[in-house]
Structure 1
Amino acid sequence: MQTELIEDVLYDQAQMLGGSRLGDDELIRLAREEFEGQPFCIVRNWMLIDLMLSGKQENEIRKQGLQPSVLFANHAVFDSEERIARGNGFITGYQKDFHGCFFASQDKLYILAGRGARKHPSLPAVTKLRELFPVS
């Protein structure tokens, strides 16, 4: 059951999305200039995950000014705080804002590079995924 939940999140059909088309070095340079003093992380091979929650669970998240979505990044390119090693995968906290190729959690801005996807899995599936990947 655990394997099936994770396979559904990682390999089932998804809506394809596009992030920034810039190269890694150029993204790092521009982000350092634009977001000086603000923590940011550039990611590739990413997926926006809109959690399917009960009304009560969703209301609790929204009361905090957040959305019931998280970012799963399979490949960190650059982390301004150096907490996430290059090439590592992780899951963020809930979404504070999302616009174009920028996903913001409460603590950090994530710049989405290259192609990505969007899915709507269940909370148990995401919980199992969080057991495999650290939460950023």
Structure 2
Amino acid sequence: MSESNPLTQISTFLYGAGVPTSGLGLSPQEASLEVQRRYPHKQYCLVRQWMLVDLLVADPVQWSAEHPGKVPRLVFAHEIVFDSAGRFPPGYWVRSTFQVSYAAEGFFETSNSVYVLLDEGCSKTEALDVVFSLY
């Protein structure tokens, strides 16, 4: 991102256009059943208004050494529908930890959770420091 003003960078990240990306076309109830079937031993979080964020890291080799088995990608969602572990109330936002897998469309897996991406979202690329400044 070439903007030098941090507020402009954050605003562009949160509200700027991204590449439209398909999520899971199921109801929350159907999605809950499907995620429990696919990942029976993991907590999960159903989200809407989400972004898949590919993180720009300064040194990809160093990043990989510091985060083995993880991809510099995360989910940022503006609306939590349901969190199976009760960590987040409905209507709040969430930023996931780094991706472990994204093998099935709509199921974004981290070390501890699966984020179920409901409806349509978008994909963006952003600097790691901009994304982490929101927390």
TM-score (norm 2): 0.85
**Pair 1:30 & 2:34 matched:** yes
**Pair 1:83 & 2:75 matched:** no
Whole-angstrom distance in 2 between the partners of 1:104 and 1:69: 11
SS of equivalent to 1:51: strand
1:89-100 equivalent positions in 2, closer than 5 A: 89-99=93-103, 100=105
> Does the CA-based 8 Å contact 1:5-1:128 persist in structure 2?
no
Instruction: Decide which moves more: 119-128 or 25-34.
Output: 25-34
Computed over aligned residues only, the root mean square deviation of the Cα atoms, in angstroms, reads 1.6
Structure 1 stretches lacking a partner, 5+ long: 131-136
Match of 1:101 among 93, 99, 106: 106
How many pairs align? 128
> Does the CA-based 8 Å contact 1:46-1:75 persist in structure 2?
yes
**Pair 1:62 & 2:67 matched:** no
The structure where helix makes up a greater share of residues is 1
Structure 2 stretches lacking a partner, 5+ long: none
Whole-angstrom distance in 2 between the partners of 1:38 and 1:93: 14
SS of equivalent to 2:69: coil
**Pair 1:20 & 2:24 matched:** yes
Q: Deviations over 1:76-111 (max 9, x none)?
A: 111111111111101011111112111111111111
**Pair 1:110 & 2:115 matched:** yes
Identity %: 27
Q: How far is the alpha carbon of 1:21 from its aligned partner?
A: 0.8
> Does the CA-based 8 Å contact 1:47-1:117 persist in structure 2?
yes
Whole-angstrom distance in 1 between the partners of 2:102 and 2:38: 17
Q: Which residue identity does 2:132 align to in structure 1?
A: T
Whole-angstrom distance in 2 between the partners of 1:31 and 1:127: 27
Q: How far is the alpha carbon of 1:34 from its aligned partner?
A: 4.1
> Does the CA-based 8 Å contact 2:51-2:75 persist in structure 1?
yes
Alignment-derived partner of residue 13 in structure 2: 9
